[in-house]
Amino acid sequence: MKIADKTVVQMHYTLTSDEGKVIDTSEGREPLQYIQGAHMIVVGLEKAMVGHDVGDKFDVKVIPSEGYGEYNEEMTQEVPLDVFQGVEKVVEGMMFYAQTPAGPMPIRVKSVSEKTAVIDANHELAGKNLNFAIEVVSVREATEEELNPQGHHCCCGGNGEGECKCSEEGHECECGGEGHKENCDGNGGCGCPNHDKHHGK
């Protein structure tokens, strides 16, 4: 089977810089697994994987615009050292996570002076070419569950084809199983482990 959208791919890889330095590799580990077309790997590599088959070995150069983006100087900022609360000593290369509306964002300390530090929100590989050596280990069709990981899973063991409703009067489940009613306070008291995810909470 050739790699196409909605296939699960396992591959070994080695990522190197333009200078030949190894940045990351799966050597000595389990192969990397991803779903083609699900944007789980950088776009340039995902595009290059299409049409390859098990056993194929090939090299891919991914340019910054199809990798981790161009380097943006506006994503650097000088801040006073006292913003690093609880850190005994701030040194170049340290990584922190800043809370943003889009979720946690990794921040790297680019440089440190006597009273301030320059922080950098660019990905550490932004602006750099990504040189991959790839070996395709396996290719198979993705299951429905793999394609829809947020699908309906109910505590009664049904198949998710019907509807679950939670209310203060009780939990009614009609999802292809036998269904059930249990005491529910409207806040997950019915004991359904997926209450919040699947019942509108």
Same domain, 89 and 183: no
Query: Mean pLDDT in the chain?
Result: 81
More confident residue, 152 or 121: 121
Query: Tokens 């569950």 — which residue?
Result: 145
In a domain, 1, yes or no: no
**Residue 99 belongs to domain spanning:** 73-120
Same domain, 139 and 157: no
Residue 16 in 3-state DSSP? strand
Nearest in space to 115 (alpha carbons), one of 80, 77, 88, 76: 80
What is the DSSP code (8-state) at residue 178? -
CATH code at position 14: 3.10.50.40
User: Among residues of the chain, what percentage have pLDDT more than 90?
Assistant: 62
Q: What is the pLDDT of residues 173-186, one digit of tens each?
A: 444 444 444 444 44
Tokens of 19: 């200078």
- How far apart CA 106 and CA 122 sit, in angstroms, is 8
pLDDT above 50: residue 189: no
pLDDT for the residue 150: 64
Residue 44 contacts residue 63 (beta carbons within 8 Å): yes
pLDDT above 60: residue 163: no
pLDDT above 60: residue 21: yes
Same domain, 55 and 134: yes
> Average of pLDDT values for 67-82?
94
pTM exceeds 0.85, yes or no: no
Tokens of 174: 């009609």
Residue/partner pairs of 97-101 with CB below 8 Å, 24 or more apart? none
In a domain, 142, yes or no: yes
Q: What is the pLDDT of residues 22-47, one digit of tens each?
A: 999 999 999 999 999 999 999 999 99
